[in-house]
Structure 1
């Protein structure tokens, strides 16, 4: 859990100046570490949030976060360039596993994803909205944006990276198109904005508090989406919590109505989770999923004063 979390607000395009020098990365690839990993999220230790790294090593987490920012800021703009290939070779292990349909391994696999993103959204910029580093994991919530000033166009994405010895050894990616027009729910919040303001200023949570927030939010998620127990909405959510999924309005009333409607939902649970600052990230799979099965969704929950106050998600459409 990084003591100094990274967050880009509004329309700020991710900056790359000094990132590579801070990482000590030159045009020469550093030696690749041995890659040992599970073949999918379902086999990970979900109680620990899927990390085997040290959640107290803030220095390593900062380095990991800088590496991912460098890949997005320098690699996304022109994935076919020689500079992007050198950077990817320096920061992605040759055997790095890419999860997802059609994903390929190693540095070229990540650059191929960037190229595919740019093909779907011509002229796209990578605009980071939230970023977390926790243990050996880095997660980034970002917009594939044709116009960095407009949060209502392009695609919303969450990418998850496992790091070892400063290199990516495992990677998951989720994205969905940003809906256009006014949704039926009437919710006009964008999929990225930060709207919650506490009643009084609060200091950044300690690492111990971040871990309490993680277990709290994961428990709330599993109680609702695995156990379908709507009473958790009264215990763990602010009744007026801010919703960034356009399908639902702000507040818990819509969720109570949805889960109380008698509709049948497949049980799903968090299998990977991170906590950084006041935001907890969960990555979910269907209960009983096999190793290698895809992640269903990425959810971000802002936790303050013992309640979930704000929520973002990315749910792939296929």
Structure 2
């Protein structure tokens, strides 16, 4: 496996460990203690991210569709579903790695459109539209 494939696998495993398994102890092995958070809706550092997930509904789930790597940067195109009464989020998460740890993060988030909301007539994630409140 080349470096790009290793970096992609590491970030996918990190996201699954934190967002889906909610194993905060195991997640510490992926996120640097000096983690830099650029997202406007998340408090600084690794603790800010972990605290956000701890406060999220237990139904929260993350699924990725596309993973791209360039050197120490990995970009995931994914869906955050199970947000209670809130629409799913479609996310482009950009992560910088250093020494096998996630050290920096940026994201772009957008509410997932239903079929009735989609001007293009195409789903934003996968090959099916979500229901009004959750994934397809």
- TM-score normalised according to structure 1 size: 0.35
Q: Residues 193 and 184 (structure 1 numbering): CA distance in 2 closer, same or farther, change over 3 Å?
A: closer
Q: Counting strand residues as a fraction of each chain, which structure ranks higher?
A: 2
Q: Residues 127 and 90 (structure 1 numbering): CA distance in 2 closer, same or farther, change over 3 Å?
A: same
Hey, what does 1:130 align to over in structure 2? 66
Aligned mates of 2:79, 2:118 — CA distance in 1: 23
Hey, what does 1:215 align to over in structure 2? none
Between structure 1 and structure 2, the one with the greater Rg is 1
Q: Residues 156 and 102 (structure 1 numbering): CA distance in 2 closer, same or farther, change over 3 Å?
A: closer
Aligned mates of 2:91, 2:76 — CA distance in 1: 8
Matches within 5 A, 1:143-158: 143-146=79-82, 154-158=88-92
Aligned mates of 1:159, 1:109 — CA distance in 2: 16
For structure 1, the residue ranges without an aligned partner over 5 or more in a row are: 1-57, 147-152, 195-318
The SS at the match of 1:182 is helix
- TM-score normalised according to structure 2 size: 0.75
1:182-232: CA deviations, max 9, x gaps? 2373x22100237xxxxxxxxxxxxxxxxxxxxxxxxxxxxxxxxxxxxxx
Note the aligned Cα RMSD (angstroms).
Answer: 2.4
Aligned mates of 1:184, 1:105 — CA distance in 2: 34
For structure 2, the residue ranges without an aligned partner over 5 or more in a row are: 128-136
Aligned mates of 2:105, 2:80 — CA distance in 1: 18
Matches within 5 A, 1:73-152: 73-79=16-22, 84-115=23-54, 118-119=56-57, 123-146=59-82
Moved beyond 6 Å, runs of 4+? none
